[in-house]
Amino acid sequence: MKRYILIILTMTGLVSFGQTFKPDLQDKTLWSTGTRPFKLIDEQGKKGIYIQESGGNRVMKLNNFEFGNGVIEFDVKGRNVIGQSFVGIAFHMQNDTTYDCIYFRPFNFMNPDTVRRWRAVQYVYLPQYDWSRLREEFPGKYENKVNPVPDPTGWFHCKIVVKNKIVTVFVNNSPTPCLTVSKLNDFSRGPIGIWADNGSDGSFANLEITKE
């Protein structure tokens, strides 16, 4: 009987599992871009956007979309230039400056400095816990090396799984996470956005969001 009721509820839309949304990165009506310059790209079969190196807002927010638990996947490409390539995804946004973020430092993927290689992927909760505070107070806890190691100048795939306060990051379809952390706040939902740090550029494509 319970199974029958669940089937009826699902058919009527009252229960929903695994809703997947693939927002068009090139549809300007879907995004709040602020003052950050960007251009549309079609590169190696990937249709997306290139966020240009500039100051201004870090996040290009997806409008009218709330994300709680689930999976965020996307393709991204940065640069192999030390200190000039920081690219990722903001989520559980409370406003334009307060949010969780997972980002990558492609210039550290294959860096000959072994310490830098352990700083390739990063979790932050901005503005309270930026990378410098986390590195000082919790060394090695909120950043890690990336495995398998992507080409620091090429496209790579990222999968971020958010389950309550646990955030798990995978690259290039690896079954083994390169980072698992517990969120540093109690925000359970909010908008998401493409993220590139001030002074950094980056390319993004194939964004796919699956709500739990």
Tokens of residue 124, six digits: 């932050």
Q: Give yes or no for a contact between 83 and 107, defined as CB atoms under 8 angstroms apart.
A: yes
Instruction: Provide the pLDDT confidence category of residue 1 given band limits of 50, 70 and 90.
Output: very low
Q: Give yes or no for a contact between 192 and 74, defined as CB atoms under 8 angstroms apart.
A: no
Instruction: Provide the pLDDT confidence category of residue 16 given band limits of 50, 70 and 90.
Output: very low
Residue range 42-58, pLDDT digits in tens:
998 999 999 999 877 89
66/112 Cα distance (integer angstroms)? 40
Mean of the per-residue pLDDT values of the chain: 91
Residue range 158-211, pLDDT digits in tens:
999 999 999 999 999 999 999 999 999 999 999 999 999 988 999 999 999 999
Q: Domain segments of the chain: what residues?
A: 19-211
pLDDT number for residue 142? 98
pLDDT number for residue 55? 78
147/150 Cα distance (integer angstroms)? 8
pLDDT number for residue 14? 32
Cα separations in angstroms, 115 against 106, 144, 188? 14, 10, 33
Q: What is the DSSP letter of 37?
A: -
CATH, range 19-211? 2.60.120.560
Residue range 68-97, pLDDT digits in tens:
999 999 999 999 999 999 999 999 999 999
pLDDT number for residue 178? 98
